[in-house]
Amino acid sequence: MTEKTLEKLKILAAAAKYDVSCASSGVSRGGGGALGGTSGWGVCHSFADDGRCVSLLKVLLSNYCAYDCAYCLNRASNDTPRASFEVEELAALTIEFYRRNYIEGLFLSSGIIRNADYTMERIVSVLRLLRETYGFGGYIHAKCVPGTGRELIVQAGRLADRLSVNVEIPSAANLKKLAPDKDHQRIYAPMRLIKQGLEETSEDRRRLAHTPSFVPAGQSTQLIIGASDENDRDILRLSSMLYQRARLKRVYYSGFIPVNAYDRRLPALAGPPLRREHRLYQADWLLRFYHFEPQEIADDTYPHLDLNLDPKSVWALRHPEFFPLDVNRADYTALLRVPGIGVRSAQRILQARSCRRLGDEHLAKLGVVMKRARFFLARSGQSHMNINHLGPEKVRVLLMDEDCPDKTGRTERPTLFQGNFRAISK
Amino acid sequence: MRVFVYDQSFEGLLSVIFDAYTLKCFPSHLCGRGDLHYFAGAHVVATRPEKSGRVFAALCRKLSTEGLHNLFLLWLAEESGGDLLLFRHLCKVLQHGGIAENDPADADALAVRRLARKVARQAEHYAGFVRFQKTRPGFVRSGSDGVIAKELYLAIIEPQHNILPLLQRHFVARLGDQLWAIYDAARHYGLMAEGEDVREIFLDENILHHGGLREELLAEGEEFMQEMWKSYFQSCAVRERVNPSLQKQLMPQRYWKYLTEKQIFRAFQL
């Protein structure tokens, strides 16, 4: 490994950084004297200066690209430094990093070299070298480029832990406009192939003793938020469909970063829409862990998420008739609807109320955030504090006072962003 | 004020519980043998396997799997007053059964869960934050003076809690084909493993300096590999989203001392 590899690493890591996925969870394996294992919950090895977790060595195999997508730094018409890893070089680098516990494994994507199949073949050859020659057992997440055929999907699926095909732009029309070389057909076809492979494997597993694994950590995708004019209702409807019909493990949301400001097809943003991205992740959690339906979070009347309040509180304020709730009687799914009660605290409430009647003094100890939950729970002698007495408007103001700055820790001016956006898209 | 003096081992603590029930006298303070507060009226607990075994068997019957694991975590916490907390909690468990584990009204049960979670979380952190450095050949000598040919991958940590036993299985499962060691510089002991074979080791701490091992002990090419990692670390951050407070929140500064990517001043000169 030489100075040249270092230069390539700098270019190809910077080129891959806009992909937000970093998970290394969902599969357990290891032992037996070999190199590499994975632990079911995933491990974060570091946190970069932007506060994102560094779990995998996330690089492109090459940032030469035949496509010309408006939102992408590596588009063919951009004049940026280009580089490509040799297959052997990248595999060796992964192993060296892994041995020092810098990383949990490899996240490999690539610009389109010549065509989809040629690119995918190169990606698969890195995976094969790592798994078969080096006997590497660590985590591998590989990207499937749009338009990959069945044969290569099967090969990649046998070697990788997770595969992903990025949808990027939620609607077909906007995708056509911003990425003329891609279309939804070419994106959803590989996604369906992966799903088929997963179903076949789980069926084989029922009949045969030894079934080779196929994408054991499932597939994921990424949506770019704010590069096109889809509203949150459209996005959540799409996510929910991807979870239910395509059986995806995760949908990632990436706030659009204007890397090609010169392209007039894109909105001019002051900065990435971090607040909106944060609210979408909260809504995504409601879909996956809180038994919410997408239309309960955003519908035709309210197509946008409230940027100032989390989506669960917003739902609660629109449904005062559901409250107040008695924590000693309410069932699990009802508890999950209360702002300030999460999956963990709801489970703890079920556990704890089997040994005593719960009062206010217990709830905080069980991890319930009382400053939010207090308006929605039936509490003896406190009926003047609940939502039906105060009214949703008043509670909303009180909740907003309590709403801490979002996880990104920044104060943004969402109204300004929305204003800009409308001006451009019309 | 009732004081029990014991040898500060886990079996010792179980023997304390045994004695407390036998004497029907529950201590409000626990002391070690060498402690300054050695009171004339204090009861000295003799650690006996037959005592601790009986208590442990009873606990195994009453505690959930998670509850038993929490005992282990709490013991590794090495927090002052942790033994007394554990004593009070275990007495309640023996009296009321496993239900006392999750009683929300019981401050001790809550403190036990909190502390156990803190230790487990620190171990999870270290599973990611441990950084191995490849040492030059001949760094490790076995028994008499035979030189082990394999290069050792050595990592230094300074955890608040004694989390090394918790890390063992994690790294044994993934670094099966290399010789590795993790050394706890705060407790002055380490574990060295090759395959499934794990040994306790002690290091001459003069070979350490800020950020890890002294340069002359590193293998050829090791500094370059560290440089590669630092470059990767710099390149993967998105400039538009830079957020140092979030970084510090997720990766507290107490971990930075031995993190390769945070050793800026040792930047490799090409």
Residues A57, A134: one domain?
yes
Size of interface A-B (CB pairs under 8 A): 175
Q: Based on the domain organization, do A267 and A336 belong to the same domain?
A: no
Among candidates B127, B153, B238 on the partner chain, residue whose Cβ is nearest the Cβ of A99: B153
The DSSP annotation for A363-384 comes to HGGGT--HHHHTTTB--TT-GG
Asked whether residue A87 falls in the same domain as residue A134, the answer is yes
Q: How far is CA A69 from the centre of its chain?
A: 21
The closest alpha carbon to B157, from B248, B7, B233, B258, belongs to B258
How many structural domains does chain A have? 2
Residue A97's closest chain B neighbor by CA?
Answer: B229
Q: Which residues of chain B have pLDDT under 50?
A: 266-270
Q: Which of B90, B125, B160 is the endpoint of a domain?
A: B125
Domain match, B76 and B100 both = yes
CA distances to B3, B31, B53, B91 from B27, in Å: 5, 10, 21, 11
Write down the pLDDT at residue A424: 32
Q: What is the pLDDT of residue B148?
A: 62
Rounded CA-CA distance A340/B145 in Å is 63
Predicted pLDDT at A354: 84
Q: What is the pLDDT of residue A353?
A: 87
The pLDDT tens digits of the residues spanning B112-163 come to 989 999 999 999 999 999 999 999 887 776 655 555 667 899 999 999 999 9
Residue A54 has its nearest CB partner, among B172, B233, B238, at B233
Rounded distance between C-alpha atoms, residue B216 and residue B140, angstroms:
14
Asked if residue B269 belongs to a domain, the reply is no
pLDDT tens string B29-57: 898 887 666 667 788 899 999 999 999 99
| pLDDT for the residue numbered A359 | 86
Partner residue opposite B131 with nearest CB, options A30, A39, A100: A100
Domain-ending residue, one of A270, A297, A324: A297
Q: Is residue A347 domain-shared with residue A280, that is, in the same domain? A: no
Give me the pLDDT at residue B39, please: 66
Q: Do residue A362 and residue B105 have CB atoms under 8 angstroms apart?
A: yes
Instruction: Name the domain boundary from A274, A297, A320.
Output: A297
Same structural domain for residues B246 and B187? yes
State which of B77, B110, B125 marks the end of a domain: B125
Tokens of A262: 């010169």
Q: If you compute the radius of gyration of chain B from its CA atoms, what whole number of angstroms results?
A: 23
Give pLDDT, residue A80.
92
Query: What is the structure's pLDDT at B142?
Result: 61
Residue A9 lies in a domain: yes
Min CA distance, A293 vs chain B (Å)? Answer: 31
What is the structure's pLDDT at A247?
92
- Domain assignment present for residue B221? The answer is yes
Please tell me the total count of domains within chain B: 2
ipTM: 0.90
pLDDT value of position B203: 86
Count other C-beta atoms under 10 Å from residue A297's C-beta: 26
Low-confidence ranges of chain A (pLDDT < 50): 406-426
Query: In terms of Cα–Cα distance, which of A292, A289, A281 is closest to A255?
Result: A281
Mutate to test the interface with B, among A43, A49, A260, A366 (most CBs of B within 10 A): A49
Give the C-alpha separation, B240 to B233, whole Å. Answer: 16
CA A193 vs CA A107, A153, A198, A223, B116: distances in Å: 20, 7, 9, 20, 44
A34–B235 CB contact, under 8 Å? no
Partner B, chain A 79-108, Cβ-Cβ below 8 Å: 93, 96-97, 99-102, 104
Cα separation, A155 vs A128, in Å, equals: 9
- Rounded Cα–Cα distance for residues A20 and A252 (Å): 7
* Residues A262 and A393 both lie in one domain: no
From the list B176, B250, B259, the residue facing A34 with the nearest CB is: B176
User: Do residues B58 and B143 both lie within one domain?
Assistant: no
In a domain, A130, yes or no: yes
Residue pair A236/A315 in contact by the 8 Å Cβ criterion = no
pLDDT at A410: 42
Taking the C-alpha atoms of residue B132 and residue A102, their distance in angstroms, rounded to an integer, is 8
Please give the single-letter amino acid code of residue A208: L
The answer to whether the Cβ–Cβ distance between A362 and B250 falls below 8 Å is no
